[in-house]
Chain A
């Protein structure tokens, strides 16, 4: 069987591989850009009162806590998918790719449930 000549396009076909690819890429981009606001908040560490005031807003808003859990979801989606990609590259049989995706999904959801519970709890 022959794939298209344009190597990069091969991955852009519907299916688990495509879904995994989009999830990995999307979460990677968002996480990379998240470093900026995160560092900006830490910048206020030089002023304890200011930092604690900002932290207070974070603690008291449920929306912010939920966003934190969302960030964990992104990290898990990206990290577990990355592990799956690396396993396949290292020689795991590619017929297992769907099974690996489902395994990553289950592990991710379990870790997310456990982590989000801790992050949202007051």
Chain B
């Protein structure tokens, strides 16, 4: 790592510091909710990806992560390999693989935006989760009631919501299908609300 030159050396550190925050956010929102929780269900991921803030977060995360990781691998190569031609080949490989991975990540994100723009079917599926951080973050940005927006015909599944928010979703006239997992009291309550409107 000492042989990378001043700029490379500095950028490796700068990306490392950024990664502390990006990885912390990633682990807290996705992986610390319990293995079986909603945080990384298809619906929860798409709900996050419907917000431009999360989209930007993932583009930055992907870029910084790949830069740091592959520049780190390059630093290791420089340390062990002395032959210039071999080094050039390794460098070409690392650049190609990291760019391919970056393009794949961007492709996945772009694909999600296309799916969000043309949802296959209208489907609301609520899970009441009053306390999870991703829900709190969405409420902070005013995104916690995704059904109240300009895009009326958007598909939603398995999104986290508090009791009050769920009420407003269930009584929304556009709601076509409601599927609920949870206690009988809440379930019957929701059914009554949904049928009364």
Contacts and interface: CB of A to CB of B under 8 A. Distances in A.
Interface of A: 7-8, 25, 28-29, 31-32, 35-36, 39, 42-43, 45-46, 48, 51-52, 55, 58-59, 65, 68, 72, 75, 79, 82-83, 86, 89, 115, 118-122
Nearest to A80: B20
Interface of B: 2, 13, 16-17, 19-20, 23, 27, 31-36, 40-42, 45-46, 65-66, 69-70, 72-73, 76, 79-80, 101, 104-105, 108, 111-112, 115, 157
A115 B20 contact: no
Contact of B35 (A29, A65, A82): A65
B112 A75 contact: no
Given A79-B23, A115-B27, A32 B70 contact: yes
B115 A46 contact: yes
A35 B101 contact: yes
Contacts of A36: 101
Contacts, number: 83
B105 A118 contact: no
B76 to A, nearest CB: 7
Interface of A, secondary structure class, is helix
A74 to B, nearest CB: 11
Contact of A32 (B2, B31, B73): B73
Nearest to B155: A48
B101 A39 contact: yes
Given A32-B72, A79-B20, A83-B20, A59 B105 contact: no
Contacts of A42: 105, 108
A51 B42 contact: yes
A46 B33 CA distance: 23
Contact of A29 (B41, B73, B79): B73
Contacts of A68: 31, 35
